[in-house]
Structure 1
Amino acid sequence: MSKLSPEETEKLKNNLKEKGYKFTPQRRAIIDIIIKNEGSHLTTEELYDLVKKDCPEIGLATVYRTVQLLEELGVICKLELNDGCSRYELIHEEENHQHHHLICTNCGSVIEVQHDLLDDLEHEIEEKYNFKITNHSLKFYGICSKCKNET
């Protein structure tokens, strides 16, 4: 399981403190579960079920509030994958943009595309429309290799 480095933990603590919040054991447990399940695109309810195993006293409302706070702080971002649920993933400081996703319309699996292939297009759009792009999100819908091979 990857963990927050001491520097990242300190930065998160300071960020919370600046906004009047504490780095509570519950918040740490939620962040640890998000990190441990990176790439799983968990919903708040799924996150709650996993955190509750290590932290049985935690309430669903605490998880919802913490997820909202972590999103406001830029630690996680919300993904809408057209399945009716809000899902969340960790934001890495080295990423310029959210990474892209391949979504299977048959089984619902989500594959992360790690390389940002839109740099040239983004630059062209900025030039043509005099518009400074700060982020983008891209989703491709189709059939994954597993489902393709089953047909």
Structure 2
Amino acid sequence: MIKLTENRKEIFNIIKSSKKPISAKVIQSKIKDKLDCSTVYRTLEFLTKKQIINSVSFKGKSFYYYGTGGHFLFCKECGEIIAFDQCIIGDLESKIEDKFNYKITNHVLYFQGYCSKCYAAYQKKHGGQEL
């Protein structure tokens, strides 16, 4: 059994209550008794290594942390993240397991593109041109 300190519990609860992945900076801003940045990062690393939370990196720049469900839309322009619950790859997982003789225990699926606002701005700037 893993012992969670009060700080770890608070950070876990912040992540669990978020509807989408959140950055360490946002997590730190929501902590009641402010913790320094290094404590927040050490806690996030601990929780990730113990597989209590998950992380994903968009654009290879920063990590975002989330509890369960790894299905996201990510706008490459404004950075908006939308999480969704519909898992559409269950059959694909089975096929991959069979083909590669592999047991899949988790997956992360995210699509990159442009939200409606950023896409409209792109089209306006480029005379209605498609991407």
Q: Which TM bucket (shorter chain)?
A: 0.7 to 0.9
Q: 1:113 aligns with which of 84, 96, 100?
A: 84
Paired residues, what number?
Answer: 122
1:112-151 to structure 2, matched below 5 A, reads 112-150=83-121, 151=124
Aligned equivalents of 1:130, 1:41: Cα separation in 2: 31
Q: Please say if residues 70 and 110 of structure 2, whose CA atoms lie closer than 8 Å, have aligned partners that are also in contact.
A: no
Aligned equivalents of 2:87, 2:29: Cα separation in 1: 33
Residue by residue over 1:105-136, the C-alpha shift from the partner in whole angstroms, topping out at 9 and shown as x without a partner, is: 22111111211101111111222222222222
Aligned equivalents of 2:25, 2:81: Cα separation in 1: 18
Instruction: Structure 2: state its 5+ residue gaps.
Output: 125-131
Instruction: Structure 1: state its 5+ residue gaps.
Output: 1-13, 17-22, 92-97
* Larger RCO (CA under 8 A, 6+ residues apart): 2
Q: 1:69: which partner in 2?
A: 46
Q: 2:127: which partner in 1?
A: none
The TM-score normalised by the length of structure 1 is: 0.69
**Secondary structure at the counterpart of residue 118 of structure 2:** helix
Aligned equivalents of 2:6, 2:104: Cα separation in 1: 37
Q: 1:59 aligns with which of 36, 46, 62?
A: 36
Q: Please say if residues 29 and 55 of structure 1, whose CA atoms lie closer than 8 Å, have aligned partners that are also in contact.
A: no
